[in-house]
Amino acid sequence: GGGGSGWFNFGVETTPVVLRLHSSRNLGLVAGEAVCGVVSCGLDQSEVARVWDGCPAEFSVGEQTLICIRFSVSLSDGAVAIGRMVGEVILPVEHIVKRCGGSLHHMWVPLYWDGESLLRAAQLNTQLVIEHFDRAVRNAAREPRSPMVCLSLCQGDIRSTELDIRDPALTNPKHSAARFFALAQSHVQHARMLQALYRQSRAEKQQARVDSSGYGPTAFRDALVDSYAGGGIPSHLGQAESPIEGTCARLRHEIEATTQEANSRINQASDSIRTLRERLTERQTEDLRTRQESARARREAAELEAESERLAYEVGSPEDRIDEARRLRNQAEVLGEQKEALLLILDDLYGATGVQGSAATV
């Protein structure tokens, strides 16, 4: 991922940078030899600076500059570059600005040959140089015993950057924040190199013991595993393993811390899964109970509806009851009129027979 522009700010056409050569490895140097780097920019073969251990190079670059450093053996602390060539390094400034935190901090870069061909290819496709640089940085961690150099690159002048290196407490906080991504990249690369070197060293020592003693590889377990299991360096390794005792202790501590953290996270995940399962079971039980209650309510509603229809059939509709009451009232009125007519007839009959008041008593 991108790491920001770091210290670089191309507000002008070029900006000053400082290149440092901290160390070199696997170059087969003999006593009195030193590695010197001749710095040029792009296909222009003209020298702009020289760099060697203890003597940084200061020069100016543009955003599109491809810094080419040709390393050779020097017999006079880099004053003159003589002897055999040991390889080249190409640094794409724009890529370092945008993707590498704006600077390089103690980064190991493998040496390779035929840098001029790569530069010519970059004129057609700059992505080739970027991919080559990224692959070289990764290979440094994967193959730590290949020829390589340790470089730092940042914006500024020798005096200001030297102060940052010697006294970090006086470093501008903004500069420190801008360099953080480069520091993190350097830390990751060195950690991977340590792991790769340890694996190679372990394999070589085991093979050497097998060759010298005739025992199979199972007779000599990994020193790191033995120290982790037994709490110390195995006795059969003797004083030859004492230089890695501190490394083994530190790695053992890191393994224990990582194991504890992993177990803690596993336990947390197990608790979360168990809680979710309990909640799921409760929800399923509640859903089943709700379904049963809903089915019972539907049955009761159907029964009530049937009972209502039966009662309505027996009682009839309100209109029917009103008609029946009206009919009964009409009948009552008719009967009342008939009664009065009968009473009058009786009165007439009683009057004709001479009986008084008999009709009234009827």
Nearest residue to 8 via CA among 151, 153, 122, 167? 153
Query: Pairing relation of β-strands 66-74 and 57-61?
Result: unpaired
Quickly state the pLDDT bin for 220 (edges 50, 70, 90).
Answer: very low
Q: In what order do the strands lie in the sheet with 104-110?
A: 57-61, 15-25, 148-155, 104-110
Q: Which of 52, 61, 68, 58 is nearest to 18 (CA)?
A: 58
pLDDT at 344 over 50: yes
Where residue 80 falls among pLDDT bands split at 50, 70, 90? Answer: low
Q: What is the pLDDT at residue 182?
A: 81
* Contact between residue 241 and residue 235 where contact means Cβ atoms under 8 Å apart: no
Facing residues of 37 across strands? 51, 71
Structure tokens at 192: 């991977």
Cα dist from 162 to 51, 96, 155, 336, whole Å: 15, 21, 12, 133
Report the half-sphere exposure of 183 (CA within 13 A, side-chain side): 7
Q: Considering only CA atoms, which of 47, 54, 115, 107 is closest in space to residue 81?
A: 47
Give the per-residue pLDDT at 279.
Answer: 92
DSSP state of 37: E
pLDDT tens-digit map of 122-138: 666 778 888 888 888 88
Which of 58, 71, 65 minimizes the C-alpha distance to 115? 71
CA atoms within 13 A on the CB side of 272: 6
**DSSP string for 200-246:** HHHHHHHHHHHHHH---GGGS--HHHHHHHHSS--GGGGGGGGGGHH
The residue among 41 and 119 whose pLDDT is bigger is 41
DSSP summary character for residue 28: -
What six digits make up the tokens of 193? 């190199």
Structural element, H or E, at residue 5: none
Inform me whether the pLDDT recorded for 142 exceeds 90.
no
pLDDT band of residue 155 (cuts 50, 70, 90) is confident
pLDDT digits (tens, 9 = 90+) for 45-60: 688 999 988 899 999 9
- Higher-confidence residue of 242 and 333: namely 333
235-289 confidence digits (pLDDT tens): 443 444 444 677 777 788 888 888 888 888 898 899 999 999 999 999 999 999 9
Percent of the chain at pLDDT exceeding 90: 20
Of residues 163 and 304, more confidence is placed in 304
Distance CA(251)–CA(332), nearest Å, equals: 115
**Rounded mean pLDDT of the chain?**
77
Length of the chain: 362
Q: Which residue in the block uniquely carries the two structure tokens 């608790």?
A: 271
> What confidence tier does 4 reach under pLDDT thresholds 50, 70, 90?
very low
How far is it, in rounded angstroms, from Cα 56 to Cα 39? 11
Structure tokens at 157: 């002048």
**CA distance to 129, 281, 289, per residue, from 286 (Å):** 64, 9, 5
The two three-digit tokens of residue 92, written as one number: 């794409």
- The whole-angstrom separation of Cα 75 and Cα 134 is 32
pLDDT at 230: 43
What pLDDT does 250 receive?
Answer: 78
Of residues 89 and 354, which shows the higher confidence score?
Answer: 89
